[in-house]
A and B are shown apart, each in its own frame.
Chain A
Amino acid sequence: MADRPLEKQNWYERFVESYGPNFRIDINNPTMGYGGSDVYRMYGITHKEGFKGSIGLDEAGMLKINSDRSIEMVAGETASSKGIDIFIQARKGNVEIDANRNGSVRISGKGIIIESIGDLTLASTGGDVNINGNKINLNPKIGADIQGLSGNLVPLEKQLLMRVFSGITIGGVGVDILMAALGLLRK
């Protein structure tokens, strides 16, 4: 709503190196942001469209890299094959990637390994989970469960129809046998 009183802001500690309207390094600017004030911020602005790209460290200790448009990281053109071109490590917390706003997180490679030392969860909040391949191998060490009301993989006894007709025999036979005879067992 309002800046802190000027006498409580240390502007003398600030350094600015401004190279015209398109690039600047601003150090110790006491202007407050969401993560406190900046220790430094270096940024550029495109000439025609005014897009901003910046890198800076705030008082909360967060190094922020922002771009109004896109960020590209490329490495390894002259490195040896099978080496590590890009390595990202989070020392104590998560690595979180988010493209929730109508984007996808796409990973493409000659081979892809997703390895978890704990649980591995594949979940779709509102859509389907699709696994395509020449062959799908599921090799659980203990067991595999599936839940659902319909579909080829859901055991008959768990499907809606069988649960409705559970314990009911028609003409002395179970509904599953009747359905098989009528060709209704599969959709």
Chain B
Amino acid sequence: MEELLLKNNFIGRDGFIWWIGQIAPEASWNEQVSGAGWGNRYKVRIMGYHPYSTAELKDEDLPWAQVMLPPGHGTGANNIAKTVKFSQGDTVIGFFLDGDNAQIPIIMGAFGNSKYRADEGDPIPFGVFGGSSNIIPPPKSAIKNSNTNDASASSQQSPRNTSETDARKADPKNPSTYTSTDGYTVDRPCEDDPKDKTGIQKLINKIKTVIEEFTDWIQRQKAKFDEKIEYYRDWINKEIDERADQLVELLGGVVSGMMNGAMEKLIPILSKGLDFLFNSVFAKLLAATGNALIAYAGATAAQGAMVGPVKALQNILECIVNQVIAKLLSPVKDILKSLANNVLNFVDCIADQTVGAMLNGIISFITEGLLPVLNGISKILQFFEDFSFENLLRNGIDALLGLIGLRSCSKAAKKDKHGPCKYKLGYGPVSQDMPDLKGILDNANAAKALSVAANVSGFPLDGVQDIVGGFGVFSDAIKDPASEFLGDVDSCFAGIPTICGPPKINIFGGGGEGGAATALMGLITGEGDNRSGSVIDIQVTNPGNGYTFPPFVEVVDACGRGYGCVARATIKDGKIDTVYVVSEGEGYPVDEEIPYVVDSVSIINPGNGYEEDDIVTDDLGNEYKADIYLGSIIKVTPINSKDITDIPSIRVKTATGSGALLTPNLGPRKEFQGEVAQVIDCVT
């Protein structure tokens, strides 16, 4: 009694009473959840003060604890506020405002949850529970459910900036991505290449890009549903419908181009045929009548009779183009279905086969559509025994190229400094070779010959192959490396690649050409087939010429395993001066690990304010000598050269300077060239 009378029950007067407790289940502080509450209050079960049993003390009967706000959170005055948020089950620490009375607890902070925290369970006093609940439900997508606040890679994992397929390769347990579009290669508006006089090669590349994006999309769905096609068949059919529409729009340009090219070849044939017709009729009439005037009149009349049919041919051109485009939709859908079924990995020859199949479809439909009007001019064509309009379309690249847009004395198009018409979402422009039109057409002819031969033998090829030819893409054997099919048309293999070399470096754009470089690999991890690494430097092997802007640098992994390497080029006097790595990437296939040394240092930005006694080092223990001129770093020379398999980060210890960007150029250690025989002093 005496002790109680002496107590003030006021913070600080009787000492300072700490406590550790646990936020009670949210049902007990529901009025704070519903928005009807006030303050920042939670029911807290405090160790040493409250029983372990809810039977002895219900959660609802626990005292309310107020939360002490840290500086910077604001009190709410003048609209300065930061929300306080604890979850049920959180372990908190605080003190009592009323000393030993222990009825007014104040929460000062909380203990963060660690990865060693047990999985959440049903709420029990001082047990492990909490996290997601009715008021804060678990994540529905992208963010992995997490109840920890560790300084670790596994705490509060965020989605990746990659495709689902790449995210799955890196971490099968957490394949979520920020956006489902990252990594798709798409077409981008770009200028014509001066070498592509008709624009048809650009058009074919656009078609190939759509095919690549489609096959990539298919692979993502397959990865998501572990090849169980029944879960995504409807999505695939919808995708095929949309892609077919897109491709048919693009193919319209090919149809009109081919028609134009074929007509340009047909015009001189018809002119020559009219001459033959005149001579033939004239000779016959002369022989019959012996009268040259009658023969001449008859011959010219025979020619005149052809005006109508030739005009009919001219009139039907536009109509045929539209008819062919309309007819293409169905076979294009069939082709896409085969791609979806048979291709596991996009390779360029798959796109070439697909384009070839479409060309065969176009040729068939044009030939079929023109048949009536060609019959009308058969009197002209009769003089050419081997004439076949289909052969006119098939034999020779000029029919494919067409003549639309052919420039005569027009000024030449400038080369697009921004590179080809291909863009990888989340990354930037990527390289694209000009399509091999002759190869595509040759393969198309060979594939058509296969289907014709099959027809003749009485065993026609399945489905659309009858129209578009017997390409490997229509067989699931194309994903089998041991298949005999691969040797038939163009040895195209669309299965999962088994042999992967280090990534290749493509340099494109910038207005120049000839630049080449190789990747130096390091940061190797994993064993056996799972060995992978990062690009720690890029060595220029050919500086090229004619560059007016720094070209793009693309890191290409033929097996599609690596990603994330970003590099930039600098140019000097029209040549590539250096290529430096901005981001090393990860997951690239590697050969043997080779240690490198810092050969030299490129100065991307000389900065300013530096002084002579500033020290240049890197995080791997190398030291450098820096030459400073008017506060800028103009030269950096490695002093020592440790073996490294990582990217050195070069730093300048300076009190005054800023802005310098120095990048190391790595290379293999040069061979020891023997002892120093004699030192010649050239100075003194």
Contacts and interface: CB of A to CB of B under 8 A. Distances in A.
A178 B306 CA distance: 12
Contacts of A61: 582
Given A101-B242, A184-B311, A171 B587 contact: no
A175 B314 CA distance: 14
A70 interface: no
Contact of A149 (B263, B423, B586): B263
Nearest to A167: B271
Given A33-B160, A126-B254, A170-B303, A1 B267 contact: no
A127 B249 contact: yes
Interface string B214-245: 00000000000000000000000000001001
A161 B143 contact: no
B414 to A, nearest CB: 8
A45 B139 contact: yes
Nearest to A45: B142
A50 B426 contact: no
B252 A34 contact: no
A38 B583 CA distance: 11
A69 to B, nearest CB: 11
Interface stretch (A8-16, A75-83, A106-114): A8-16
B37 interface: no
Contacts of B181: 66
A36 B585 contact: yes
B385 to A, nearest CB: 20
A2 B310 contact: no
Interface in A31-56: 31-38, 41, 43, 45, 47-48, 50, 52, 54, 56
Contacts of A93: 418
A101 B247 CA distance: 9
B301 A98 contact: no
Interface stretch (B481-489, B525-533, B539-547): B525-533
A33 B426 contact: yes
Contacts, number: 254
A34 B254 contact: no
B161 A58 contact: yes
Scoring B199, B210, B252 by chain A CB atoms within 10 A of each residue's CB, the highest score goes to B252
Contacts of A5: 523, 525
B314 A125 contact: no
Given A34-B563, A127-B249, A170 B182 contact: no
Nearest to B557: A1
Interface string B245-287: 1101111111110001001000100110010001000000000
B188 interface: yes
A93 to B, nearest CB: 6
Scoring A125, A127, A165 by chain B CB atoms within 10 A of each residue's CB, the highest score goes to A125
A127 B318 CA distance: 11
B252 A4 contact: no
A34 B178 CA distance: 12
A75 to B, nearest CB: 25
Nearest to B269: A164
Nearest to B427: A34
Given A34-B161, A102-B246, A178 B426 contact: no
Given A126-B249, A170-B304, A160 B263 contact: yes
Scoring B187, B189, B423 by chain A CB atoms within 10 A of each residue's CB, the highest score goes to B189
Contacts of B424: 34
A61 B252 CA distance: 38
A146 interface: no
A156 B251 CA distance: 28
A97 B187 CA distance: 11
A59 B568 CA distance: 12
Interface string A171-187: 10001001100101001
Contacts of A38: 161
Interface stretch (B47-55, B148-156, B329-337): B148-156
A148 B276 CA distance: 27
A36 B582 contact: yes
Contacts of B152: 11
B143 A29 contact: no
A127 B252 contact: yes
Contacts of B404: 147
A63 interface: no
A18 B532 contact: no
A35 B585 CA distance: 9
B140 A21 contact: yes
B246 A161 contact: no
Interface in B493-539: 523, 525-526, 530, 532, 534
B380 to A, nearest CB: 8
A166 B275 CA distance: 11
A160 B310 contact: yes
A32 B142 contact: no
Contact of B526 (A2, A126, A169, A184): A2
B586 A32 contact: yes
Contact of B315 (A12, A123, A187): A187
A2 B203 contact: no
A123 B200 CA distance: 13
A41 B177 CA distance: 12
Contacts of A123: 199
Nearest to B178: A54
Contacts of B525: 2-5
B530 A52 contact: no
A60 B566 contact: yes
Q: 3 closest pairs, A vs B, by CB?
A: A33-B161, A36-B583, A126-B252
Interface of A: 1-6, 8-9, 11-12, 16, 18-22, 24, 26, 29-38, 41, 43, 45, 47-48, 50, 52, 54, 56, 58-62, 64, 66, 68, 93-94, 96-98, 100-102, 123-127, 147, 149-151, 159-161, 163-166, 168-171, 175, 178-179, 182, 184, 187
Interface of B: 85, 132, 136-143, 145-146, 151-153, 155-156, 158-162, 169-171, 178-183, 186-189, 199, 203, 206, 210, 242, 245-246, 248-256, 260, 263, 267, 270-271, 274, 278, 297, 300-301, 303-304, 307-308, 310-311, 313-315, 317-318, 325, 403-406, 418, 423-424, 426-428, 523, 525-526, 530, 532, 534, 561-566, 582-589, 646
24 contacts: A1-B532, A1-B587, A2-B532, A3-B170, A3-B525, A19-B85, A21-B137, A21-B143, A31-B161, A32-B162, A33-B162, A41-B158, A50-B142, A59-B583, A60-B583, A64-B426, A100-B246, A126-B255, A161-B311, A164-B270, A170-B303, A170-B304, A171-B297, A184-B311
Given A33-B426, A45-B142, A97-B189, 16 more contacts: A11-B151, A31-B160, A32-B161, A33-B564, A34-B426, A47-B140, A98-B189, A100-B246, A125-B249, A149-B314, A159-B314, A160-B317, A163-B267, A168-B278, A170-B303, A178-B307
